[in-house]
Amino acid sequence: MVRRGTRTAPLLLVLMLVASARAAPDAASEDAPATGIRIELASVFVTDQARALAFYTEVLGFEVARDEPLGAYRWLTVRSPAGVDGVELLLEPDALPAARSFRAAVFEQGIPATTFFVDDLAAEHARLEALGVRFVQ
């Protein structure tokens, strides 16, 4: 769980940082046929899009991919400058009661909503703590 200051960060619920050594695929996976299916958009429910945007851009270092008005809300996506081209994270308003219930239940159970991979876990942890992110789990 990540908290910034005394308020829960708008990251849906839980931020997991995972150190990753990107190994080359084994021979079996290289021979597997491509499915043509890829992930280009995933979403997290947020209580406040502006606050979530500030967190994802100013703290995590993501960049805005799309920011379009959509009624009372925005179609607001971010992406990692170090990530796969085209993959975006939608900062989805939790305006519907089902979304709020889901968000609350996942938070209470400590289930990660999104997992981010980093090359140096200790360095990223220190960087985020210096920016005021408090890790509680």
pLDDT higher than threshold 90 for residue 120 = yes
Position 88 confidence tier, pLDDT thresholds 50, 70, 90: very high
DSSP code for 32:
S
Asked if the model's pLDDT at residue 1 lies above 60, the reply is no
Strand partners for 2:
135
121: tokens are 């876990």
Counts of helices then strands in the chain (DSSP H, E): 4, 9
Residue with the larger pLDDT of the pair 4 and 20: 20
What is the structure's pLDDT at 24?
A: 46
The model carries a pTM of 0.72
The CA distances from residue 1 to 13, 71, 99, 133, in Å, are: 6, 31, 19, 10
> Which strand (E) or helix (H) includes residue 65?
strand 63-70
Q: What is the Cα–Cα distance from 126 to 61, expressed in whole angstroms?
A: 14
In order of 27, 29, 116, the CA distances from 24 in angstroms are: 9, 10, 19
What does the alpha-carbon distance between residue 21 and residue 36 come to, in Å, rounded to a whole number?
25
